[in-house]
Structure 1
């Protein structure tokens, strides 16, 4: 299992690096415009007041006169998760299906270890890679604050890392489950993208009206509160716990499904 873990980490190294760099780099880039926005905050707020509430919610808009509000609007609430969710989905969907499509499944399964251990090693490697992406994202936020003269707390950064990690790991988990069921990366990733998009739409609709508020409980995005985490250093333990539970269930289901498959 250790050998498989090292190989899987090696295979993921450059993909994880570039997505980590892309997510953190985007955050750094947009943060450089914060001083300008802060100076013209009255004009920006007046302009945004003319937009529909639903549109502002969809793009993650909040008060951009504060550093955390600006960074949430321009990166953390929508654009950073889009960038890194692509990596989590594609990598998760490739866990088993890639071996099948590349014709290397027999070589992979010839390793003297049970199927579930082989898959667990690849899942562990992916989790490590995703945590590396999260660390890069958190460091990008810290560096952004330094560059523009803002202040963020250590507890805020830790809470931010927690919600980022839970978000990416649950996406990778259900993508991996789909990969263990289907033998096609296209099918697995397509369904996974659809689940993520549907979850976002449900969360968005739930936030538009009190009548639909309960819908937010059906979405993984309810636990993804990066701006609040950064501002207050706190997390919604219940929502985050549910997401973690979903992750664990998907991982266990993936291992069981792959172990019981007669052929791949």
Structure 2
């Protein structure tokens, strides 16, 4: 059981290690940079107040002069919501389309492995990478925060990482859907990248306009690092919605792939 997941995950070990280290170093850099930000926080807050509301909303800019607000914007809103969200959608876009394009899928389908199991296990092969980046980063960031002498509730930092997993699962499910709909790997991956980022923009613009309901289709509506870090505003209901969306997306991808005519 889960042989495909183990095989695919083992092929990504090097990439997972590199990604985890790079993201952790980004977090370390942000923490190290904060003392210089704190000394000019008054000027920064004035500058931020003059930014367009849509821009402030998109990047979760709030209380930039505190370590919580700074990390929420520079590390989690940008690094987690945008970069990693797009990354997992992009990677998922190649899970099926890549093998369909180069005909490697014929070897898989010649085995007793069902199409449903193939799709599900390939999707699950991204989970170790999601876990790795969310384990390594706080192990680096939390001690660094303590060194610079900025008190931050540890449970809030850990909550951000925990709540990001359903978000990543959802963006990966979007990429998986495109991967079974499109037979070209590059098209599926780039399409997933554009879709995830486009949904981020939809939520950002809808939240400052009169069409707030439109943002409900975006995964970013249900994952708010700024609210967690600054106010301890945990959203378990949002996490459940994201998990439901991920499960639904994978189920739809399985149904579509079962009916796909691969010739």
Q: Give the TM-score, by structure 2 length.
A: 0.90
Give the deviation of 1:233 after TM superposition. 4.1
Unaligned runs of 5+ in 2: none
Q: Deviations over 1:154-204 (max 9, x none)?
A: 431332123211211101011112112221122212322232122112211
Unaligned runs of 5+ in 1: none
Give secondary structure in 2 for the equivalent of 1:78: helix
Q: Which runs of 4+ in 1 moved over 4 A?
A: none
Give the deviation of 1:232 after TM superposition. 4.2
C-alpha change, 1:100 and 1:53, in structure 2 (3 Å) is same
C-alpha change, 1:236 and 1:44, in structure 2 (3 Å) is same
Greater alpha carbon shift after TM alignment, 179-188 vs 211-220 = 211-220
C-alpha change, 1:147 and 1:250, in structure 2 (3 Å) is same
Residue in 2 that maps onto 1:260: 259
Q: Give the TM-score, by structure 1 length.
A: 0.89
Give the deviation of 1:11 after TM superposition. 1.2
Q: Do structure 1's residue 17 and structure 2's residue 17 form an aligned pair?
A: yes
Residue in 2 that maps onto 1:168: 168
Aligned pair count reads 263
Residue in 2 that maps onto 1:150: 150
Q: Do structure 1's residue 75 and structure 2's residue 59 form an aligned pair?
A: no
Residue in 2 that maps onto 1:29: 29
Residue in 1 that maps onto 2:122: 122
Q: How do residues 1-264 of structure 1 correspond to structure 2 at under 5 angstroms?
A: 1-209=1-209, 211-263=210-262
C-alpha change, 1:42 and 1:157, in structure 2 (3 Å) is closer
Give the deviation of 1:12 after TM superposition. 1.6
**Counterparts of 2:80 and 2:242, CA distance in 1:** 19
**Counterparts of 1:86 and 1:149, CA distance in 2:** 33
**Counterparts of 2:91 and 2:140, CA distance in 1:** 23
